[in-house]
Amino acid sequence: MPVTPSTRAIERVAVIGASECTAAQAILAEEVGRRIAEAGWVLYTGGLAGVMEAASRGARGAGGRVVGILPGAAASDANPHVEIPIATGMGHARNVVLVQSVDAVVAIGGGHGTLSEIAVALKLGRPLVALESWEIPGVDAVDSPAAAIAGLRGVAAPARDPFMERLTALCRSVPGAGGEELAEALRSFDGSQPRFLAVMRQLGKHHDALGPEVLRDLADLHRLFAEREGRDR
């Protein structure tokens, strides 16, 4: 389902999601935050941890502005990447303030608090896309941060990158602390061979979690990386 068109020009985008999230969701949120900043939009979140913090980190790392609409009365509750904390003291009612303040919404994972924000966005007619979040009518499910931003822009998603898709999927499949290490390695990946080899070493350390096809998967990654380098030359 295509994103519902809006007559509002997009300047402010909310990323909504839980204060506790998986390493995979944190990777998604950080990239979405980065892409929001690169699009020249201001990022709004609920200002706390989890998806909110990861998106804030991505946006600030890309030089973007980050506003946190906090449920409590203390601005100091905001995560360290929030540039402008707004302490509402309104508890869950701040969810309405957050969505009302923006032009579009990206949902990543999330529980019932995120569901309430989705409901408000639908009620207000805000363009809304979802990554690994609630599957309900009116919510446009996308499969990547690039597709999320493209959907809000109303344009076609960029061409697929099989190498990055495979690399990200393998990193996300490792649970627990290993997944956190791989999330950090993936964040630092810049497309260069040394960074690629660093991620591969991390994957090799967690081969037990990758299943019986791990050797084939790693060989495929090497092949896809070589093809990618060949195209970039």
Range 51-57 average pLDDT: 97
What count of other Cβ atoms lies within 10 Å of the Cβ of residue 154?
12
| Of 177 and 150, the one with more pLDDT | 150
Shortest CA distance to 15 belongs to which of 58, 57, 46?
46
Domain ranges across the chain? 12-153, 162-232
Closest CA to 74 of 85, 82, 63, 64: 85
Sign of CA dihedral 196, 40, 50, 168: negative
In the structure, what pLDDT confidence band is assigned to residue 6 with cuts at 50, 70 and 90? very low
DSSP label of 78: S
The pLDDT score that the predictor gives to residue 5 is 44
* Phi, psi angle pair for 48, to nearest 5°: -100, -145
Distance from C-alpha of 13 to C-alpha of 221, rounded to nearest angstrom? 34
For a pLDDT cut of 90, what percent of the chain falls above it? Answer: 55
Residue 110 token pair: 């999330």
Region of 110 on the Ramachandran plot (φ > 0 left; ψ -120 to 50 alpha; else beta): left
Question: pLDDT tens across 153-209, in order?
Answer: 875 455 667 888 888 888 878 888 788 888 888 878 888 889 899 888 888 888 777
Asked whether the predicted pLDDT for residue 18 surpasses 80, the reply is: yes
In the chain, what percentage of residues exceed pLDDT 70?
93
Burial of 81 (0-12, 13-18, 19+ CB in 10 A): buried
Residue 12, strand partner residues: 42
Amino acid at 79: N
The mean predicted confidence, pLDDT, of the chain is 88
Domain 12-153 class in CATH: alpha beta
Q: Is the pLDDT of residue 36 over 60?
A: yes
- Contact at 8 Å (CB) between 115 and 98? no
Mean pLDDT value across residues 209-215: 77
Residues present in the chain in total: 233
> Around Cβ 224, how many Cβ atoms within 10 Å?
17
Mean local confidence (pLDDT), 60-81: 97
The answer to whether residue 68 scores a pLDDT higher than 70 is yes
Helices (H), ranges, the chain:
23-38, 51-61, 94-100, 112-124, 145-153, 162-172, 176-187, 193-205, 214-232
**pLDDT, tens digit, for every residue of 118-135?**
999 999 999 999 999 998
Q: b/e for 178-210, b at 16 or more Cβ within 10 A?
A: bbebbbebbbeeeeeeeebeebbebbeebeebb
Note the pLDDT of residue 209: 76
Provide the token pair at 46.
């609920």
Q: How far apart are CA 30 and CA 36, in angstroms?
A: 10
Name which residue leads in pLDDT, 181 or 109: 109
Strands, E assignment, 46-115 = 66-70, 84-87, 104-108
pLDDT at 111: 92
pLDDT for the residue 103: 93
Q: Quick one: pLDDT at residue 160?
A: 66
Q: What is the pLDDT of residue 75?
A: 97
Per-residue confidence (pLDDT) for residue 2, from 0 to 100 = 46
